[in-house]
Structure 1
Amino acid sequence: MIALGAFHGLNPGMGWLFALSLGLQQHSGRVIWISLFPIAVGHAAAIVAVVLIVLAGLQVISFHRLQWLTAVLLLGFGIYKLFNYYRHPRWVGMKVGMRDLLLWSFLMATAHGAGLMVIPALLGVAEEQKSHHAGGHPAMLEGGAMLLAVGAHTLSMLLVMGAVAWIVYRKLGLSVLRQKWINFDLIWAVALLVVGGVALWMAI
């Protein structure tokens, strides 16, 4: 979850480029950091929504079937993104408030499949809790462990986003984005397929 958080933080589509743009508009590095917090909260909310779906799924279908369903969804969405990586959701302009950033981040993380990408890790957390705590309230233990994982994921993402935005703002400047831009949308699509492959291997 921490590694996925760092990967999500590197992706400009998850928010650091938006925060950087706001900071450059207002000529303030402080604005970048302020903007990153609602972006991180919105991202975390999208992941928490997935946690709730996973917990609900574990109540109605078997763990093994949920693993297979996750693998199929990841591979299917990964293939879709591979052929449509150039398409971007457009919901807001550049004049936004903190609430707009939070909502935008939630929608962006959902549309890009950020929550879907972490399901195999969440299932791993649930399986570990089940094996270590046979008694008690398994759903509560699994949910608590997953929320802790989401917290670690979000903190990792926030730190990486902040570091990348600050380095570009202070050291590299916008010219580096024009000269050495990486097609992160294509990398994201490949990452979905890789995680889908891992999920398939776990299911098998």
Structure 2
Amino acid sequence: MNTISSALWPWLALAGLGAFHGLNPAMGWLFVAALGLHRRSRGLVLMALVPIALGHALAVGAVLLAVIVFGTVVDATFLGRGAGIILIVWAMTHLLTGHRTPLRIGMQTGLAGLALWSFMMASAHGAGFMLIPALLSLCVTPGTGVELAASPSVPISFAALAVHTGAMMAVIGGVSLIVYDQGLAFLRRGWINLDILWSLALAGGGIFLLAG
């Protein structure tokens, strides 16, 4: 049972982080819903999910690829400690200054602009770094302290990215359609600010890596 749990938890974490990212308005659902309302098109809400997913996946995938590349030449324990420090510093920066991006996209943007916006927002929020603890747990045997092997790590990282992005898009799609159908008044009735939770998730990932 413990073996099953240890093998399953990273995948559940990847899906859970995907759902959490999907709930964050900064990751796309607010823009998608507003774009659909602006153009009065429910179909556009669904269509906009594609560039949102593409931009987010590219930003997160770049981080996962960097982890694998560094992991093939650097001891996995050292890599985990370094990633943990980065996560904690990122969390503190977010708490002190918030996340800002110089990119401004208006309601007249096309799908390419939406993909670029999604990429920039995911990068600025450190979304990909949140997945590092789960990825290292999948690719490194605990206690070995060895370098990552690229051959098994690359397909695992693609699967991790697919699970994460799929969960995120399911949540973004659901929330966007609810907001589109009920109007922005829905936000005044029941939405919360996720900035603090986002920072806690970053810091929690960092602590996990440092304590592992």
How do residues 11-30 of structure 1 correspond to structure 2 at under 5 angstroms?
Answer: 11-30=24-43
Distance 2:38 2:74 in 1: 50
Matching residue of 1:161? 172
CA distance in 2, matches of 1:181, 1:160: 14
**SS of equivalent to 2:48:** helix
Q: What is the rounded CA distance, in whole Å, between the counterparts of 2:166 and 2:32 in structure 1?
A: 16
For the pair 1:140 / 2:146, whether they are aligned, the reply is no
Partner in structure 2 of residue 170 of structure 1: 181
Contact 1:4 1:153 (C-alpha < 8 Å) held by counterparts: yes
- The residue type paired with residue 94 of structure 2 is K
Report the residue type matching 1:80 in the other structure. Answer: T
1:81 to 94, 111, 117: 94
1:185 aligns with 195
**Which ranges in structure 1 are unaligned for 5 or more consecutive residues?**
132-136
Kept in 2: contact 1:51–1:143 (CA 8 A): no
Deviations 1:138-189 (A, max 9, x none): 3121111111110111111000100111112223x21132354411222211
- What's the counterpart of residue 52 of structure 1? 65
Distance in 1 between residues matched to 2:110 and 2:198, nearest whole Å: 27
Q: Which amino acid aligns with 1:199?
A: L
CA RMSD of superposed structures (Å): 2.0
Q: Which amino acid counterpart does residue 115 of structure 2 have in structure 1?
A: L
Measure the CA separation in 2 of the matches of 1:46 and 1:195: 18
- In the alignment, structure 2 segments of 5+ residues that lack a partner are 1-13
When the two structures are superposed, what TM-score results if normalisation uses the length of structure 2? 0.86
Distance 1:138 1:67 in 2: 15
Specify which of 127, 134, 142 is matched with residue 140 of structure 2: 127
> Partner residue of 1:200?
210
8 A Cα contact 1:46 1:110, kept in partner: yes
**SS of equivalent residue, structure 1 residue 106:** helix
Aligned partner letter, 1:159: A
Could you tell me which residue of structure 2 aligns to residue 134 of structure 1? none
> Residue 4 of structure 2 corresponds to which residue in structure 1?
none
Q: How far, CA to CA, are the matches of 1:19 and 1:28 in structure 2?
A: 11
Letter in 2 for 1:152: V
Q: 1:94 aligns with which of 95, 99, 107?
A: 107
SS of the residue corresponding to residue 198 of structure 2 reads helix
CA distances 1:101-129 after superposition (whole Å, capped 9, x unpaired): 1111111100000011111111112115x
2:38–2:107 CA contact under 8 A, matched in 1: no
